[in-house]
Amino acid sequence: MTFSFAIIAFITLIGAVGALAFRQIVHSVLCLAITFTGVAMLYLQLGAQFLGFAQFLVYIGAVTILILFAVLLTKNTGPTISGQVYSASWVSGVGVGVSVFVCLAWAILRTPQLDRLAAEETNSTVKAIGLSLMSDYVIPLEVIALLLTAAMVGAIVIAMNETSTQTTMQGANHEKGLK
């Protein structure tokens, strides 16, 4: 186990534990950002440069900000958190988590084929990725484009004010006009 891997793994896990445990939701989300950064660094260590930067761009620049906006819109940001933040049956929840980890770790550790090092050279240049996106994976790419558009429209329609259907319809039409 190399030193750099140990550090990055430590950062990732600290972030995950923080996201799990903090009472203040904004703190949890900031810890989640630490985990995302750690995972991006793991990708870089594994030689997936493009993917590491994409992970950083999408998760830190978009998903975390999105979650923070949702936290603010649901007014969960007060300095003190009143009431319970953990569910009543949290003991069994932790139990399930621990047993899942034990099962996975047992399976990983008793498989000797997994205990191997990576091959030296990788062929993950941006050019190779682009060519393969445009040839072998062109249909998934188009489907993803459709999915993202649908998700955007869907998110806007769901989150729009439900009191007046009139404005909702107008807004949806306006959205179509923008496309």
Partner 1 sequence: MEALLIAIKARILELAPEFLQFPLGHLLSITPVISVFAGIFALTTWIERKGLGRIQNRLGPNRVGPVGILQPVADGLKMIFKEDVVPRSADKIVHFLAPILLVIPTMLAFSVIPYGNRLVPIDLDAGILFFFAIGGSAELIVFMAGWSSRNKYAMLGAMRAIAQMISYEVPLILSSIVVIMMAGSLSLVDIVAVQTGGFWNWHVATPWGFVGFLLFLTAALAESNRSPFDIPEAESEIIAGHMTEYSGFKYALFFLAEYLGLFAMTGLAITLFLGGFHAPFPFLNWVPAPLWFFGKFAILVALFIWIRGTLPRLRMDQLMGLAWKFMIPMSLITFAAGATWHYAGKGLLAWILCTPMLLGSYVYLGTALTKGQKVSKRVYRFAD
Partner 2 sequence: MATLSHYLLLSALLFSLGLTAVLIRRNAILVLVGIELMLNAANLNFIAFWRHSPNPGDLSGYMFVLFSIAVAAAEAAVGLALIIAVYRHFRTTDIQKISKLKG
Interaction site with partner 1 (CB under 8 A): 26-27, 30, 33, 49-50, 53-54, 56-57, 60-62, 64-65, 68, 72, 77, 79, 125-127, 178
**Can residue 119 be called a binding residue for partner 2 (CB under 8 A)?**
yes
* Among residues 11, 30, 47, 60, the one that binds partner 2 under rule CB under 8 A: 47
Q: Which does 148 bind (CB under 5 to 8 A by kind): partner 2, partner 1, none?
A: partner 2
**Can residue 34 be called a binding residue for partner 2 (CB under 8 A)?**
no
Judged by DSSP in three states, 79 sits in coil
Burial class (CB in 10 A: 0-12, 13-18, 19+), 56: middle
Minimum Å gap between C-beta 61 and partner 1 is 3
**Can residue 126 be called a binding residue for partner 2 (CB under 8 A)?**
no
Q: CA–CA separation, 153 vs 172, rounded Å?
A: 8
> Tokens standing for 70?
């949702």
Q: In angstroms, what CA-CA distances link 167 with 100, 157, 160, 173?
A: 47, 11, 9, 10
Minimum Å gap between C-beta 96 and partner 2 is 6
For the window 65-104, what string marks contact with partner 2 as x by the rule CB under 8 A?
Answer: -xx-xxx-xx-x------xxxxxx-x-xxx-xxx-xx--x
> Among positive and negative, which fits the CA dihedral 172, 173, 177, 179?
positive
* Total residues interacting with partner 2, rule: CB under 8 A: 88
Q: CA–CA separation, 151 vs 143, rounded Å?
A: 12
What distance lies between CA 10 and its chain's CA centroid?
Answer: 18
Instruction: Decide whether 163 or 166 has the Cβ nearer to partner 2.
Output: 163
